[in-house]
Amino acid sequence: MSADNKKTIAQCIKKARKIVIKIGSNTLANADGKINYGFMTNLAKQCAQLMEDGKQIVLVSSGAQVAGVSTIDRWAKRKDIHYRQALCSIGQVELMDKWRQAFGVFGIHIGQLLLTKEDFTDDHRTLNVRNTLFTLVDEGVVPIINENDSVSFDEIKIGDNDNLSALSAICWSADLLILFSDIDGVFDKNPKDFPEAKLVEFVSSIADLRKNISIGATNAFGTGGIETKLEAAEKVLEYGINMILANGSRENILESLADGSAKGTLFISK
C-alpha cells in the first residue's frame, strides 16, 4: 500500500464537510451473527471527533435483521419472508436503541429515517428527505438511515444499503461517501480465496475497473457484494462525490483513514 494512497484518502476526508458513512451487516455483527455494541460505541466516538472538527455526519446502518436475531434468536433459521420482515421490524427498534446509547455517551442525539425506492423517485418525497437531513445535521443530530425492510417488496425495494447510501449521499449533496465492509477495499480478485490478490488503490473509471477484476459472491450476513459497491460508486461519482471503501472491522478505522494510517480504495470523481 503506497503512502500516496493513504495521504490522498486523508486529504479527501479533511476536505469533505458532509460525509455519509455506510455500515454493513458484517461489520455490525459478531462472529455469532449478533449485534456488536462495542463496535457501535467506538464508531460513535470517532464520528463525534469528526463532528468536533466541523464535519457533518449521516449514517446508513444495516443490521436490522442482525439485531432481530440478537433479540429473538429462535427465528434465526426461518426463511419465510413474513418472518424475515418481522425480524427486521423487531431488530430496527433494537438497532436504533443501541445507536442511541452509543452516541448518547458523547452527548449526541440521533434521528431515524426508514426509506424505500419511492422516496428517491418521487420529487416531493425526495425533497422532504433532503429537508429532514439538512435540519437534523444543522442541529448537531446524526441521522441514521436504513431501508424500510418491514414493508418493502420488490417494486419499492432498493435491495442493499450500498445503493441506499449512494442515493442518500446524492440527495443530501454530500462531499464524501465512506462504505465500511469486511474487506480492505476492491481487489483484483477475492482476497479471501486468493492470498496474492492486490488492492486497487485508486479508481476513476468503474468501466475500466470491471475489466480488470473478478467479482466474488455476496458476503455472509449482508445483501451486497462488490458489485453493489461498484454500483454505489457509479452513482456518486456521476455527481462529483468521492467514495472510500474500507474495512470497518479494523480498529479505529474512521480515525485511521482520517490521519492517513489506514488503507482502502478511493474512488475519485473526475
Quote the pTM value.
Answer: 0.89
Element (H, E) at 224: none
Residue 155 reports pLDDT greater than 90: no
Q: What local confidence, expressed as pLDDT, does residue 218 receive? A: 46
In sequence order, the β-bridge partners of residue 110 are 142
Q: How many residues does the chain have?
A: 270
Q: What local confidence, expressed as pLDDT, does residue 69 receive? A: 66
Q: What local confidence, expressed as pLDDT, does residue 75 receive? A: 54
Residue 88 reports pLDDT greater than 70: yes
Residue 61 reports pLDDT greater than 60: yes
pLDDT (mean) for 107-122: 94
pLDDT (mean) for 199-227: 74
pLDDT (mean) for 201-217: 82
Q: What local confidence, expressed as pLDDT, does residue 9 receive? A: 95
Q: What local confidence, expressed as pLDDT, does residue 235 receive? A: 96
pLDDT (mean) for 174-189: 92
Residue entry with cell 479505529: 252
Q: What pLDDT band is residue 160 in, cutting at 50, 70 and 90?
A: confident
d(C-alpha 89, C-alpha 33), whole Å: 17
Q: What local confidence, expressed as pLDDT, does residue 25 receive? A: 83
> 247 with 182: CB under 8 angstroms?
yes
Question: Which is more confident, 214 or 78?
Answer: 214
d(C-alpha 148, C-alpha 118), whole Å: 11
Question: Which is more confident, 101 or 67?
Answer: 101
User: Domains plus CATH for the chain?
Assistant: 3-267 (3.40.1160.10)
Q: What pLDDT band is residue 63 in, cutting at 50, 70 and 90?
A: confident
pLDDT (mean) for 242-247: 96
